[in-house]
Amino acid sequence: MAPAVEVVACKVDELNDGDTREVQIGDSTALLVKDKGSYYAVGNKCTHYGAPLAKGAYSKGVVRCPWHGACFNVKTGDIEDFPGLDSLPVFQVEVRGNEVVVKADPEALKSTKRVKAMSRADPSNKKTFVIVGGGVAAEACAETLRQEGFTGQVLVLTKESDLPYDRPKLSKAMTTTADAIALRNKDFYSSCDIEFRTGTEVTGVDTAQKKVTLAGGDTVEYEALLVATGGRPRTMPIPGQELENVCVLRTPDDANRIAENSKGKKVVIIGSSFIGMEVTSCVAEGAQSVSVVDLIKVPFQLVLGNQVGQVMQKLHEDKGVKFYFERGIKEFVGENGKLKQAVLSDGTVLDADICVLGIGVVPATDFLKESGIQMTQRGFVTVDKHMKTSAGGVFAAGDIVEFPLFINDDQQSNVQHWQMAHQHGRIAALNMLGKSTAIRSVPYFWTVMYGKSIRYTGYGPGYDDIVVHGDLSAPQFAAFYTKGDKVVAVASLAFDPIVSQAASLMEQGQTILKSDIMEDPKSWVGRLKQC
């Protein structure tokens, strides 16, 4: 057995409580943390996309990734909030005299990720937990069930033809394949007896008999059920929508088709929020022209506001993108079944070889209408803090739910973020197992265009003012969204790790006041060490 690798990380008096430091150990790096007089060391790379955690936010035993907000317990290395699925390796720390020494098994240094131990199915356990849906909420639920020792059958029923994949990449890297962005491979699921039935549509749920009905008429009984079917792309009743090359983005095949058919072509994008603008940034360089149409006044207006929206608009215009705001689409005109033109509501005619509808999603919950499960008029499933629906033994997660969001005074809220879907799946699994656990997670999302990434945390609907620090023209800024005297959300570009710091403070139940950020955008950051 190879001897441990060790390094003197610092002197005892060099770090204060709440301080972190990146430490080189062998060919890897560790994150050293001092908390309440004790030292801890874990891997320094976020298991999501590899961000350096030493540049993130630290508070109360948890380090948060500076890029996308994943959270890790520094004592155990376990992932506690998302995105990503894996935990961090953990290293030994010893205090020898006046020196702090980090020790690591050479094997532990070979990977920046650690997969939690998984149970397997036991034939004597006759319970079947059914998961309907093939996204990350379903995946996180299935893994958590096995991590927590469940030995019954874990059965995932999904209409998708592929195993769960990194869906946010579809609009950011449109030439990828499902296998290239898979969250786990087939062998992983086989190793822990998680059964996926792809290409399987669930058409109904009988909550009294505890069974689901499949498209072919077969039924599957369940002890506990998770519904996590996500959204389907919103469409509009527009003449000509059936023409070839009028597209939506939902699958890797959709992304590949859009990318290929945009090369050297005239592209029209309907919608200027996240899907529409990320697709625009992907195709702009190779297309002959790109035109964006929307009813609002600037991109991302409803979420990020006019000031930030104007920054993003300029990024696109600098790449030759043209915007047609405050108007909608009237009809698509074709020739021999192929799209030729998009006619706008004001009569403007845009030549178009391909059009992408990026106007959001609606919950894929039609199959629940006869189930008796409580839903809103818009088709969202109502759940409590434990992700329980109104039907016994039935849980729901992800984009299809409205749940009590603690930073929104526990009001029922719909949060369609990749990060939140992970957490929903995890919390649902714990409660399916009878381990009562309430959802407590701060919304966090990001978008990337032309190499520029905007990060956002909080819950901003209903904000009444935006306080911006930095240089919008650079662009390098932090934007604080306020409601009354309270900061309800924070967005940034090239201002890390302020969004992660805000998320960590919000998670502790603390409030950033508008007066805190009027003069100095970072005046509140020191409070993280006091939590």
C-alpha to C-alpha distances, 182 to 84, 132, 134, 185, nearest whole angstrom: 12, 18, 11, 6
| Stretch 28-41: mean pLDDT | 96
What pLDDT is attached to residue 4? Answer: 87
What pLDDT is attached to residue 490? Answer: 98
% of the chain with per-residue pLDDT over 90? 96
C-alpha to C-alpha distances, 87 to 20, 47, 445, nearest whole angstrom: 18, 7, 20
Determine how many CB atoms are found less than 10 A away from the CB of residue 90: 20
| Stretch 401-426: mean pLDDT | 98
Peptide bond into 89 cis (omega under 30): no
| Stretch 279-297: mean pLDDT | 97
Q: How confident is the model at residue 471 (pLDDT cuts 50, 70, 90)?
A: very high
DSSP state of 414: -
Crossing angle of helices 301-317 and 274-283, in 10° steps, is 10
Contact between 60 and 531 under an 8 Å Cβ cutoff? The reply is yes
What pLDDT is attached to residue 67? Answer: 98
Tell me how far apart the alpha carbons of residues 456 and 443 are, in angstroms, rounded to a whole number: 8
Tell me how far apart the alpha carbons of residues 309 and 298 are, in angstroms, rounded to a whole number: 5
Q: How confident is the model at residue 531 (pLDDT cuts 50, 70, 90)?
A: confident
The kind and range of the H/E element at 348 are none
Tell me how far apart the alpha carbons of residues 262 and 386 are, in angstroms, rounded to a whole number: 44
What is the tens place of the pLDDT at every residue in 489-523? 999 999 999 999 999 999 999 999 999 999 999 99
What pLDDT is attached to residue 332? Answer: 98
Determine how many CB atoms are found less than 10 A away from the CB of residue 123: 7
| Stretch 251-277: mean pLDDT | 97
Tell me how far apart the alpha carbons of residues 193 and 195 are, in angstroms, rounded to a whole number: 6
Contact between 65 and 46 under an 8 Å Cβ cutoff? The reply is yes
What is the tens place of the pLDDT at every residue in 54-90? 999 999 999 999 999 999 999 999 999 999 999 999 9
Contact between 363 and 381 under an 8 Å Cβ cutoff? The reply is yes
| Stretch 34-41: mean pLDDT | 96
Q: How confident is the model at residue 295 (pLDDT cuts 50, 70, 90)?
A: very high
What pLDDT is attached to residue 110? Answer: 87
What pLDDT is attached to residue 196? Answer: 98
Peptide bond into 475 cis (omega under 30): yes
- Mean residue pLDDT across the chain: 96
DSSP state of 459: -
- pLDDT of 127 strictly over 90: yes
Contact between 203 and 331 under an 8 Å Cβ cutoff? The reply is no
Determine how many CB atoms are found less than 10 A away from the CB of residue 127: 12
Least confident of 215-219, 229-233, 238-242, 526-530: 526-530
The kind and range of the H/E element at 226 are strand 224-227
Peptide bond into 461 cis (omega under 30): no
What pLDDT is attached to residue 1? Answer: 64
Burial classification of residue 448, based on how many CB atoms lie within 10 Å of its CB (0-12 exposed, 13-18 middle, 19 or more buried)? middle
| Stretch 103-116: mean pLDDT | 91
* Closest-CA residue to 492 (of 455, 441, 451, 462): 455
Nearby residues of 1 by Cβ (< 8 Å), 6 or more positions away:
none
How much of the chain is helix, strand and coil, in % rounded to 5? Answer: 20, 35, 45
Q: How confident is the model at residue 330 (pLDDT cuts 50, 70, 90)?
A: very high
How many residues in the chain? 531
Strand order in the sheet with 20-25: 5-11, 99-104, 90-96, 38-43, 28-35, 20-25
What is the tens place of the pLDDT at every residue in 160-204? 999 999 999 999 989 999 999 999 999 999 999 999 999 999 999
Tell me how far apart the alpha carbons of residues 513 and 522 are, in angstroms, rounded to a whole number: 12
Residue 26 backbone class (left: φ over 0; alpha: ψ -120 to 50; beta: rest): left
Nearby residues of 371 by Cβ (< 8 Å), 6 or more positions away:
204, 205, 206, 207, 391
What pLDDT is attached to residue 107? Answer: 84
